[in-house]
Amino acid sequence: MKNILHLVHYIVVLFVLNIPSIENVDRSNFKTCEQSGFCRRQRKYKPDRSSYEIDLNTIKIVKSGHLRCLLLDNTKSHVKFKLDIFTLEHNSLRVKINERNPIRRRYEVKHSLVGEPKLVDMNITNLDGNQIQGSFGKAARFLLHVKPFRLDLFTNDMFVMSVNSKHLFNFEHYRKKTQSNKTTTDNDSEDGMWEETFKTHKDSKPYGPSSIGVDVNFINFENVYGIPEHADAFSLRSTHDGDPYRLYNVDIFEYDLQNPMALYGSVPYMLAHGEHATVGFFWMNAAEGWIDVNHNKNLFSTATKPITDNIEIPEVTTHWMFESGIFDGFFFMGPTPRDIFKQYTTITGAAPLPPLWAIAYHQCRWNYIDEDDVRGVLNGFEQHQIPLDVIWLDIEHTNGKRYFTWDLKKFPNPEKLQNDIAFYRRKLVTISDPHIKKDDAYHIYSEAKARGYFVKTKDGQDYEGSCWPGSSMWLDFFNPDISQWYSQRYLLENYKGSTENLFLWNDMNEPSVFNGPEITFPKDLVHHGGWEDREVHNLYGMLQHMSTFQGLVNRSHGHIRPFLLTRSFFAGSQRTAAVWTGDNSAQWSHLKVTVPMLLSLSVTGFGFIGADVGGFFSNPDPKLLVRWYQAAAYQPFYREHAHIDTTRREPWLFGNDNTRLIRQSIEARYTYLPYWYTLFYKQERQGVPPMLPLWANFPKDKNTFKTEDSFMIGNGLLVYPVADADINQISVYFPGENTIWYDLRTFNPYKGSETVLINVNMESIPAYQLGGVIIPRRLRKRRSSMIALNDPITLIVTLDRYLEAKGELYMDDGYTYDYRRKRQLVHRRFIFKNNELRSKSLDTSSKFVTEAWIERIIVLGYPKNPNKVIINSGDKHATPLHSYQAATHTLVIRRPGPLVTSDWTLTIS
Amino acid sequence: MHVAVILCSFTSISDGNGEQTVLRGVQTSLLSMYIPSKPFTCLDGSLTVPFEFVNDDYCDCQDGSDEPGTSACSNGQFFCENKGYLGTLIPSHFVGDGICDCCDGSDEYETTIVCNNTCFELTQKFQAVRDARRTLHEAGIAKKKEIIAKSKAITSERQEHFNKLEQDLNNLENDLKEKEKLKQEAEVPEYAAKEKNQKLWEENRAMQQVMVRDQQIREIFVDLDTNEDSLVSIDELQKHTELDINQENEFTVEEVRSILGSDSVNFNEFNAIVFEKISNSYQSSPEPTTPTLEPTPLPEPSIYSATTPSSILEKHGYEEEEVTTTSSSYKDNEEENNNDRDDYHESSSVSTSLEHEKHIHASLAPEYDDETKVLIQIADQARNEYNQVKEKIIQIKRQIQDFKKQSDVDLGPNNDYAPILDECFDYDEREYTYRICMFKTAKQISKGGSSQVTIGYWDSWSGPKDDKYLKMKYSNGATCWNGPPRSLTVTLKCGTEQKLSDVREPSRCEYTMTFETPLACDETIANRSLHPGHVEF
């Protein structure tokens, strides 16, 4: 939603400070690596040789797929570490390193895991006294070097990753603070180990230093991706001349682009992709993190397979530093992009299929003022015949920012409002932030206060900070009882004025604390279990939205799929929430950066993602707004949103031409909903996000590895959003060798591996369908997605050079879990081959009744006008009419007519 | 994908595919375009298709005209017959969407949902709404007439007043000419008398000057003549070394002699030859008994004197400019015009000292003679009268200007909104009172009155093209923090009372108001006759 613009007012009132520049983020509010004690120490740590070594005598197989040994630091005899290696299903490896006998238990993240990872056998061979080799999975292999400690990883006999080959592994064990701040053996007197001050905030650091650093190196790769959230390039940049990429969930005001500053969410997961392989490394750690990235060339040799002498191979070296926790690294061995998606989501879970309406168009604003305003906006959509599925209410709808309440002067009858909204099967989303207004008369506060449900200071008091409502407290979601209690607040009987047509938005959940250090929790706050915020910080937002999700599931007794949007997130958030990129700005550069930002989220498991259309802060000029509507029509989460200080932005306020252009963008989105929905289903099943980098579909096309001006939807649509103000030509690269791409407006074909200058005007949304793909669409218009459920489907068949194509269609009731519980779904496979188009079920045990039928089949690239088209379905057959346009090789089959649920074969002769 | 792109004619016609076409959704006026025995040509003329293609649930025409009765085309129109109510056109994508859009339910013929026929109720409702509207407008119009009548009276009064002003102006301008003539006539003898007096003073002053100078020379001579032999000798003069032109060396006898021209001079010689040479350097002997050589200040006309000719002229020029100055500075000029300058001076400034006052008066010319005084009095009188008339003219001109400015405001059709010109209305809301003064300003006044902010100044009528007088725009209000200048749009609505019925701020600093007024009532609506029980669709 928003941010600290109002904090600014707030501070001015409270403390009479100067108003900082509103142009950009005030960087001085956030730490640099140098200002973060552990980052400073870890980044400085550069020994010639690692002092860590494996104690060979301790190696043992705990059970099948689990090897354990001790890791020693030869400079500190008293500190011992245990190292656990787990070989996991789907070509994955997990390595945990923890202190053997820490004086304080170290935090291990569990919430990211979708379940206990499944072990698979490892085949151990002791190569010599200094190496242990383990094979696992599909031609994957690890090589553990004993002295010094180092781990090399191979996939298909290719050396792909290496841990500690740069000797940066550095584990700060817990230690006792001596009176002089010095111990005999360790160099702990360094500034910032036992206390740190940032601006006016003191971090008491009662447990002293506890950080971990390690180098993870991607051999023979030139590009690494992921570790969101940063407003930066998709292919990560080298950080040697600046700060490392930071992972620390904070509420940042008017974020800058092209820099590694932390944003609202964190996913410590990095992928490397090259022509030969795709691999990934996920360090499950929720503390503050910093990651240095460097692109090098290196000479490499390994004991088992020396790489040709004198040949430099590229390498991306990365240096990971976390303030606390343990080393809990997952290595995904690929080797294909699709394998990687599967592997990562096997560990952290796949984003579930959202309700159909949630992937349609959303209209939001801070704030729709009252019921009349909401109705007026809905009427506007009616009047201008623009489809709409969801309307949103930001914080001002509440009674004084007391969530779960309504400002009854403005919203005297919220149930009626929701029922009216539901008339066209539309939905309402309200906001619910984690800060709880300190007010004894507020039922949520008083109950939580009485039960001791708030996060505590280091001294055990309820922590009090300020946010929208003024003085506030924060629920301690780390306590399962509190999470459960919180989830129950969403039940219809507890959330007065809510109905089953109301869904949720969790904002400010980094959490945002206006007067906290770096606008968030002090690190020495204490959560349930005695864990400091320092150890768990990046989980807070996720725990809130997980509770909200559970509440929404329980609200319908597990019948209706929730929808929920969160600003803060962590690895695993994708299982329960959609994510947006927070408070962006109405600038062309911000429109542009949506692609790299969303791709970074996509490849790290987040499929249901979007950016505020038009830009949250300030007023977009109409051209920018139109371009944004066009671009976002092809991005997963499609929501217009604007700051309270902006002028109104509903689609019809910019003149008839712009209204028409915006309407067309939204209509285009609706025509693709069957395709989107199918892709979201595939994501749930296979972990493949709907929005993809080009290399995910063309892994061998080097030209795509740094691409961030375009993206793909599924494997069939290539989208080049126009993101420049005055432009009448764009340069489009068509990926893949021997591919054909069809312009969906002109039906012009383009050849792959070529860059083409394409003319654009304001109508243009450059999108191309790959030859060889069949995309299901609904060309009929409706007021909302849910009332189009039974409308017929048009199949767009674009033929490849073998005159073949295939595609899928998934459908269900659009909003319940019946597709899981009762298998009420239809999942079809379409194959066009040898002049025949067949539809068959991909899920024969499924059953779903729908009137939806195939009304039209458009075949692009069909060489000649056929004589006859026959369709057979069971014992029925018909000869639908067809037309052929020789100039564009376009064959249109009119009303073939079968139900989408039926098997049929269409034969062209 | 645009359906339009795939528009092309199909090559063969199958028997089994065409659905029985009822001319569902076709509006009555277009029925003649849909003739079952003939091929159908899309209404935009772009394509001709077999008639079986009409309403066969497949979009063939770019304009959607082949599918008026189905949802196949995104841009088609479906005609709800709505028997008992108004026939209406709805977008054809409303057909079969499970929502009853036509009151006869005809748009949902193909779905399983049951639409109640609501046409009768709708008609009643429509009639009720229409009647209520008519009644409202009728009542409103009555009020409007009253208000306008009242306002007409006021307007004609104002017009009368205006006419009178113009008449007055005319008269005054004539009067001014008269007064100017009188003034000039009075000023001529006054000027002459003053000139005469002036001349006398000047002669007198010249004589005095000569006498003073003579006295000074005599005093110097006596001063120099230390041995009192009625001669100034070289040694007597030599004592005055200040007279030495060449100050570096001694004051020699030769030098002294060159000044005296001889060894000694008597008074007459001194007066004629020596005085001029030494008057600038000469310093009297230490005894300060001698008057200074500085000439006695001459009586000069004081700038504070209102009765000297020069000051009158000065002021005259000032007044000429005066006519064009703005009204804001008017008051000051009024004071400038005050003839009694001494009074003005004395009353408006704190005198610095009594001596100073005396000095000024002492340096004044002697009083005019009685005859002149009388002439001045007469002239002052004439000037006063002239200025008073001038003053009145300025005032009237200003009133006329204001009046004309007001009449430039577009007060709506037939000047209907003239009655609320300058009228102010308040709207009380939780935090603020909103006050609009029509065709002037709108303000937001905080409850408690601690602050008020202008949210706009009258700008223009801003309704849609066909209904310009529906909305008023007030713009350029106080600028918002980090935002645009505030502005306001007022929507006018027919009501029986004049009041603000709603104030909102849909975007930050962009306000909207609804103003109910009989003046917005529409006579044609009010005059629509009621036909109870009869629906005229």
Summarised one tens digit per residue, pLDDT across range A597-653 is 999 999 999 999 999 999 999 999 999 999 999 999 999 999 999 999 999 999 999
For residue A454, being part of any structural domain is answered with no
B77 pLDDT band, cuts 50/70/90, is very high
Same domain as A375, residue A402: yes
Best residue in B2, B3, B6 to probe A by mutation, most A CBs within 10 Å? B6
Residue A815: the pLDDT is 98
In this model, does residue B312 exceed pLDDT 50? no
- The highest-confidence range among A726-740, B183-197, B388-402, by mean pLDDT, is A726-740
Among the listed ranges A498-512, B137-151, B337-351, B509-523, which one has the minimum average pLDDT value?
Answer: B337-351
State the smallest CA–CA distance between residue B11 and chain A in angstroms.
Answer: 6
Q: What is the mean pLDDT of chain B?
A: 78
Query: Searching chain B, which residue's CA lies closest to the CA of residue A664?
Result: B2
Residues 10-29 of B with CB under 8 A from A: 10-14, 16-17
A779: nearest CB among B1, B10, B11: B1
Confidence of residue B360 (pLDDT cuts 50, 70, 90): very low
C-beta atoms of A881 and B10 within 8 A: yes
Question: Within an 8 Å CB–CB cutoff, is residue B112 touching chain A?
Answer: no
Statement to judge: residues A510 and A392 lie in one domain? yes
Segment A33-62 shows an average pLDDT of 94
pLDDT at B195 over 80: yes
Give the lowest-confidence range in A711-715, A791-795, B381-385. B381-385
- CA nearest to A279, candidates A341, A230, A345: A341
Helix (H, G, I), strand (E, B) or coil at B122: helix
Smallest Cβ–Cβ distance between A881 and the set B12, B57, B482 belongs to B12
Regarding predicted confidence, which is higher, B206 or A713?
A713
Closest Cβ opposite residue A885 in set B8, B74, B480? B8
Q: Give pLDDT, residue B192.
A: 86
Phi (first) and psi of residue A782, to 5 degrees: -140, 170
pLDDT grade, residue A54 (50/70/90)? very high
Q: Encoding tokens for residue B494?
A: 């027919």
Question: For residue B506, which residues of chain A lie inside 8 Å, CB to CB?
Answer: 369, 373, 648
Q: Which of residues 619-658 of A touch B (CB under 8 A)?
A: 644-648
Q: Which one has a higher pLDDT value, A470 or B399?
A: A470
Look at A546-560, A633-647, A700-714, B312-326 and tell me which has the smallest mean pLDDT: B312-326
| CATH number, domain B415-526 | 2.70.130.10
Q: Give yes or no: A507 in active site.
A: yes
CB contact (8 A) between residue A883 and residue B1: no
What pLDDT does residue A812 have? 97
Q: Min CA distance, B3 vs chain A (Å)?
A: 7
Q: What is the pLDDT of residue A180?
A: 54
Inter-chain CB proximity A855 and B72 less than 8 Å: yes
Q: Does B464 touch chain A (CB under 8 A)?
A: no
Chain A interface includes B338 (CB < 8 A):
no
pLDDT band, very low/low/confident/very high, at A310 (cuts 50, 70, 90): low
Distances (CA, A) of A16 to A9, A20, A467, B253: 9, 12, 17, 87
CB contact under 8 A, A890 and B91: no
- Percent of chain B residues past pLDDT 70, beyond the cut: 78
Residue A307, pLDDT > 60, answer no
Minimum mean pLDDT among A275-284, A725-734, A800-809, B301-310: which range? B301-310
CATH no. for residue A708?
2.60.40.1180
User: Is residue A16 domain-resident?
Assistant: no
pLDDT at B111 over 80: no
Across A230-244, average pLDDT: 97
Give the domain extent around A598. Answer: 367-429+488-514+534-691
Is position A256 within any domain? no
Residue A359 in domain: no
The shortest C-alpha distance from B8 to chain A (Å) reads: 7
Q: Is B8 on the interface with A (CB under 8 A)?
A: yes
Residue type, A670: Y
Please report, for residues B210, B214, B238, B286, the alpha-carbon distance to residue B217 in angstroms, rounded to integers and kept in the order given.
Answer: 11, 5, 18, 17
Q: What is the pLDDT of residues A837-869, one digit of tens each?
A: 999 999 989 999 999 999 999 999 999 999 999
Q: What pLDDT does residue B322 have?
A: 35
Which one has a higher pLDDT value, A534 or B83? A534
CB contact under 8 A, A744 and B57: no
Chain A CB contacts of B16 below 8 Å: 878
Chain A positions in Cβ-Cβ contact with residue B11 (cut-off 8 Å): 865, 881-884
- Of A781, A892, A895, Cβ closest to residue B74: A781
Q: Do B1 and A878 lie within an 8 Å CB cutoff?
A: no
> Between the CA of residue A85 and those of A148, A269, A464, what are the distances in Å?
17, 19, 42
Q: Phi first, then psi: what are they for B528, rounded to 5°?
A: -60, 130
Shortest distance, CA B18 to any CA of chain A (angstroms): 10
Residue A578's pLDDT band, with cuts at 50, 70 and 90, is very high
Q: Alpha-carbon distance A123 to A412, whole Å?
A: 68
The distance of B125 to chain A (nearest Cα, Å) reads: 20
A646: chain B residues, CB-CB within 8 Å:
507-508
pLDDT at residue number A392: 98
Distance CA B501, CA A404 (A): 31
Q: Which of B58, B62, B55 is nearest to A895 (CA)?
A: B58
Domain count, chain A: 4
Q: Which residues of B, range 401-420, sit inside 8 Å of A by Cβ?
A: none
**List of chain B residues whose C-beta atoms are within 8 Å of the C-beta of residue A866:** none
The pLDDT, as a whole number, for residue B421 is 84
For the stretch B446-502, pLDDT in tens is 887 778 899 999 999 999 988 899 999 999 999 887 778 999 999 999 999 999 998
Position with higher pLDDT, B261 vs A858: A858
| Mean pLDDT for the stretch of residues A881-904 | 95
Express each pLDDT in B199-237 by its tens digit.
888 888 888 888 888 888 888 888 888 888 888 888 888
**Who has greater pLDDT, B104 or B352?**
B104
DSSP state of A515: T
Return the structure tokens found at A91: 């070509």
Domain ranges of chain B: 1-117, 415-526
Rounded Cα–Cα distance for residues B235 and B233 (Å): 6
Whole-number Å distance between alpha carbons of A340 and A277: 10
Residue A372 has a CB neighbour count (10 Å cut-off) of 12
pLDDT reading at A902 higher than 70: yes
Q: Determine, for residues A647 and B13 on separate chains, whether the beta-carbon distance falls below 8 Å.
A: no
Read off the DSSP letter of residue A75.
T
Q: Is the peptide bond before A148 cis (omega within 30 degrees of 0)?
A: yes
Please report the number of interchain residue pairs, chain A to chain B, with beta-carbon separation below 8 angstroms: 101
For residues B108 and A585, give the distance between their C-alpha atoms in angstroms, rounded to a whole number: 44
- Report d(CA A640, CA A85) in Å as an integer: 46
Active site annotation includes A241? no
Nearest-Cα distance to chain B for A201, in Å, is: 29
For residue A674, which amino acid is it?
P
Peptide bond into A335 cis (omega under 30): yes
Q: Where are the alpha helices (DSSP H) in A242-368?
A: 337-348
pLDDT, residue A369, reads 94
Interface of A with B in 719-748 (CB under 8 A): 744-747
Residue B357 has pLDDT above 60, yes or no: no
Across the range A875-900, mean pLDDT stands at: 95
Assess A889–B contact: CB distance below 8 Å, yes or no: no
Contacts of A586 in chain B (CB under 8 A): none
Do the chains contact at B484 and A777, CB–CB below 8 Å? Answer: no
pLDDT above 70 (res A50): yes
Interface membership of B91 toward A (CB under 8 Å): yes
> Does B17 sit within 8 Å of A878, measured CB to CB?
yes
List of chain B residues whose C-beta atoms are within 8 Å of the C-beta of residue A882: 10-11
CB proximity B5 to A under 8 Å: yes
A215, A407, A524, A583: the catalytic one is: A583
* Mean pLDDT within B364-380: 80
Using a CB–CB cutoff of 8 Å, tell me whether A858 touches chain B. yes
HEC profile of A369-427: CCHHHHHHHHHHHHHCCCCCCEEEECHHHCCCCCCCCCCCCCCCCHHHHHHHHHHHCCE
Please indicate, yes or no, whether residues A684 and A721 belong to a single structural domain of this protein. no
List, for residues B142-191, the tens digit of each pLDDT value.
898 888 888 778 778 878 888 888 888 888 888 889 888 988 888 888 88
Same domain, A686 and A714: no
Question: Residue A301 contacts by C-beta under 8 Å, 6 or more apart in sequence?
Answer: A307, A309
pLDDT of residue A141: 96
| Confidence at residue B343, expressed as pLDDT on a 0 to 100 scale | 37
- For strands A564-566 and A502-506, give the pairing: parallel
Q: Give the Cβ contact number of residue B466 at 10 Å.
A: 6
Burial bucket for residue B445 (CB in 10 Å: 0-12, 13-18, 19+):
middle
Per the DSSP assignment, residues forming a β-bridge with A712 are A692, A718
Asked if residue A115 belongs to a domain, the reply is yes
| ipTM at complex level | 0.89
Q: Which of A424, A645, A892 sits opposite B99 (nearest CB)?
A: A424
Confidence (pLDDT) at B369: 81
Q: Cβ contacts (< 8 Å) between A791 and chain B: which residues? A: 71
- A170: phi > 0 → left, psi -120 to 50 → alpha, else beta; which? beta
Average pLDDT over all residues of chain A: 94
Q: Is residue A157 part of a domain?
A: yes
Tally of residues, chain B = 537
Residue closest to A700 by CA, chosen among A276, A224, A77: A276
CB contact under 8 A, B91 and A385: yes
Of residues A186, A389, A394, A507, which has the active-site annotation?
A: A507
Residue B262, helix vs strand vs coil: coil
* Predicted pLDDT at B365: 61
Q: Is B89 on the interface with A (CB under 8 A)?
A: no
CB–CB of A895 and B17 under 8 A? Answer: yes
Identify all chain A residues contacting B93, using CB atoms and an 8 Å cutoff: 780-783
